[in-house]
Chains A and B, each alone.
Chain A
Amino acid sequence: MNATQILFWFLSGLTLFSAIMVVISKNPVHSVLWLIVTFFAISGHYILLNAQFIGIVNLIVYAGAIMVLFLFVIMLMNLNAHSEPQKHKWLKLAGILAGGCLMLVLVAALKTADQNKMIAQTQEGNIGLIENLGKALFTEYVVPFEISSVLFLSAMVGAVVIGKKGD
C-alpha cells in the first residue's frame, strides 16, 4: 500500500463513520459537528482526486458557512437529547424499510453501470483545478450555470420576502 491508498482508506473509513454518527447521535449539536467532520473527509477525497479547488470550496461553502448557520439555528432552539420527540415504533420501521429500498436500488443501479469499471484517477485528473473548471463552466456549461444562478437569486429574493413579512 502506498501513501495514496492509505489516505484513501483512512478517509473512506472516516467519511462512513462520521456519516453514521450524524444519524445516530442523540444530541443535534453533535450531529452537526459530525457532519462537519464528514465534509472534511469528503474534501480530502476531492484533494486526492487532484480537485483542490472543489475540495476547498466544499469546505468554505458547506463546512464554513452552511454548517455555521445550521449550528446557529440548533443552538438557538436549544434542542437536546431530552427534548427530542420519541417517534412511533411503526414510523421507525417504515423509515428503515424506505432507506433499505433506496440502498437496494442504488446498489442494483451501480452494479452493472460502466462507472464501476472506471478507476478513479488519483492525482492525474485536472478538471477540478480552478482554471479548467472555470473554462468548462463558462464555455461548455454556461447556460446551466447561468440558470442555476437565477435559481439562487430567486431563492434569495424569496428569503427576503419571507423575512419582511412581519413588518
Chain B
Amino acid sequence: MFLVVEWQFIVEKLVLIVAVVMISLVIAMYETYMERKVAAFLQDRRGPSRAGPFGILQPVADGLKLFMKEEIIPNNSNKFLFILGPCLAMMTAMMTSAVIPWGGTIDFFGYPVSLQVADINIGILFIFGVVSMGVYGIMIGGWASNNKFSLIAALRGASQVISYELPMGLALIALLMVTGSLKMSVIVGQQADSWYNVLYQPLGFMIFFVCALAECNRTPFDLPEAENELNFGYHQEYSSMKLGFYLFAEYINMFISSVVMSTLFFGGYDIPFINDVNLGHSIGANWLAVLQAMSLFFKTVSFIFLFMWIRWTIPRFRYDQLMNLGWKTLIPLSLINMLITAVVVLWLKK
C-alpha cells in the first residue's frame, strides 16, 4: 500500500513537471512570435505573415532554422564550459516554475491533484535563489567563448544582475511582512480572500517590476546585449541551437517573471469575486481549476505585453545610468518602503 501511494505521487509529479516544462517551452516559442507582432504593431508594420495564417508558424520555422545551422565551437574556447553555459541558462530558467501554483486542486477520478509541483515552505526564497543562479549561464558562456566582447558583456550582465537583486530582495521582504508567509499557495490564498498585494505594496511592486526587467536583461536594461557597443553580446561566439538556447532562456525568464509577478502581487490564479458567486459549486472543481489557470495565463500575458511594450518604446540606458538607478534610487526607495511597511504592520497589529 505504501509503495502504491509512493508511485502515484511520483507519477503525478512527473506528469506535472513535464506539462509545466512543455507549456513554458511552447509559450516561450510563441513569445518570439508575439514580440515580433507587438513590435510590428507599435511601429505600424505587419510583422511575420508568410508562414501559416497570420504567420503563426513563424516560431516553428525559426526553431527549425536554428536546428539546421552549422554548430561551431571556437578553437580557443573552453569546450566543456562553452557547452555548459547555454545548458545552465536554460536549466535555471526552467527551474523557477517548480514552486508556482498554476491553479487550484483538480479531482482526477477521485484522486486530488494539486496544480503545483512543490509547495515548499520557502517558495519565494527558492525563486530568488534560482534567479541568482541565472547569471552563471551568461558568465560561463561569455568567459568560455574566449572573446573580449563576450567577456565584457558577461561581466556587465553579472554586475547588473547582482545590483538589481538587492532592491528586488528588499521589495520582497516588504511583501513578506504583509503576507507573513513564504509559501506561494498561502500568498495566493490570502489574496483570494482579501485584496491583491499590489494594493498594499504599490511601491514594492514598481521596484520589483523594474528589477524583473533588469534581471531578464530586457530593454531598457539589455546592456549585456548592447550590439552597438559589444557587437552582439555574451552569445557572440554561439551558433545553431546553443544560441537558440540563450535566446530561448531569455523568453522563458520573461514568462516566469511575469508569472511570479502575477502570483505575488496580482492574486495568482485567483479570479476576482470568485468567492462571492460560489462558482466552484455550480460548475465543479475541475472546471474552476481550468478557469483559474486561464486567469493566471491572462495576467501573465498582460505582463509579457507590458515587457514588450517597454522594449519597443524606451531606448537603452547608459551603463552609469543603470548603476545609478540601481544603487542610488531603487535601493533607498526599497529601504524606505520596507521601513514604512514594517511600521504600518506593527501599528495595525497593536
Contacts and interface: CB of A to CB of B under 8 A. Distances in A.
A75 B136 CA distance: 13
Contacts of B279: none
Q: Which of A68, A72, A129 has the most CB of B within 10 A?
A: A68
A64 B168 CA distance: 14
Main secondary structure of the interface of B (DSSP, over half): helix
A36 interface: yes
A130 B162 contact: no
A64 B133 contact: yes
B236 to A, nearest CB: 16
A106 interface: no
A66 to B, nearest CB: 10
B31 interface: no
A59 interface: yes
Given A56-B129, A57-B125, A75-B155, 19 more contacts: A33-B140, A53-B122, A53-B125, A59-B133, A63-B132, A63-B133, A65-B132, A65-B162, A65-B165, A68-B135, A68-B139, A68-B161, A68-B162, A72-B159, A75-B139, A75-B154, A76-B155, A130-B121, A130-B182
Interface of B: 78, 81, 120-122, 125-126, 128-129, 132-133, 135-136, 139-140, 143, 151, 154-155, 158-159, 161-162, 165, 182
Interface of A: 29, 33, 36, 52-53, 56-57, 59-60, 63-65, 68-69, 71-72, 75-76, 129-130
26 contacts: A29-B78, A29-B81, A33-B81, A36-B136, A53-B122, A56-B122, A56-B125, A56-B126, A59-B129, A60-B128, A60-B129, A63-B133, A64-B129, A64-B132, A65-B162, A68-B158, A68-B162, A71-B136, A71-B143, A72-B155, A75-B151, A75-B154, A75-B155, A129-B121, A130-B122, A130-B182
